Structure 1
């Protein structure tokens, strides 16, 4: 749908819309490549140990559970469910 402020020349509106769509697709690819290059550059130049320690300390107070802790907790809960008997009694080991 062409807005009313676009000049009424035949085919002009659709041409510019197509060019804009192609340009936006190109910019998405360009942005993705720039992001990947920046990440690669940061991986090649890691932070100093003091910066790593500050980040780790901030994460310890900001993040409730690390993904490894979540996986371990779920595995322990699944294991506990396997060892329960009917009626909620614990199996003797």
Structure 2
């Protein structure tokens, strides 16, 4: 029988293994270089995705904007800039509130894995629905892109994800220290 990998071994002084979390694996426990490399990789990917989404939103808006008379364009552009600033702040504040609430009752590792599976299962349907809605939302796509960017920027800059807090709490509740240390 092969020995367990060091990441599968129980944490020092504990009798249960450190649970693996989606996107972070078991690196969340020590928060060393592999953890920060995973967070940096996620950040780079999300920033690139936000840039592409923003370019798409601006391109779609430009198509709608070309249909407007020239005097209305100036006013509409000003409205879009103001709406985008408000939406960016609104997205960040909304995610901050949700994050704070999630930290008050963080999910355990099983609930985190279940939520990830449920999310992955719903994505194709949401993509299909989004394709139809994006045409209806074309006139306000910059504000929508700003809202999404605000949420994602805050998500990328949190100190600890709720899944980490929940896993740490679960580990403390389910771990038993050796009798010599009690």
TM-score interval for Structure 1 and Structure 2 normalised by the shorter chain: 0.3 to 0.5
- Structure showing greater relative contact order (alpha-carbon pairs closer than 8 Å, 6 or more residues apart): 2
Please say which structure displays the higher CA radius of gyration. 1
Per the normalisation by structure 2, the TM-score is 0.24
Per the normalisation by structure 1, the TM-score is 0.44
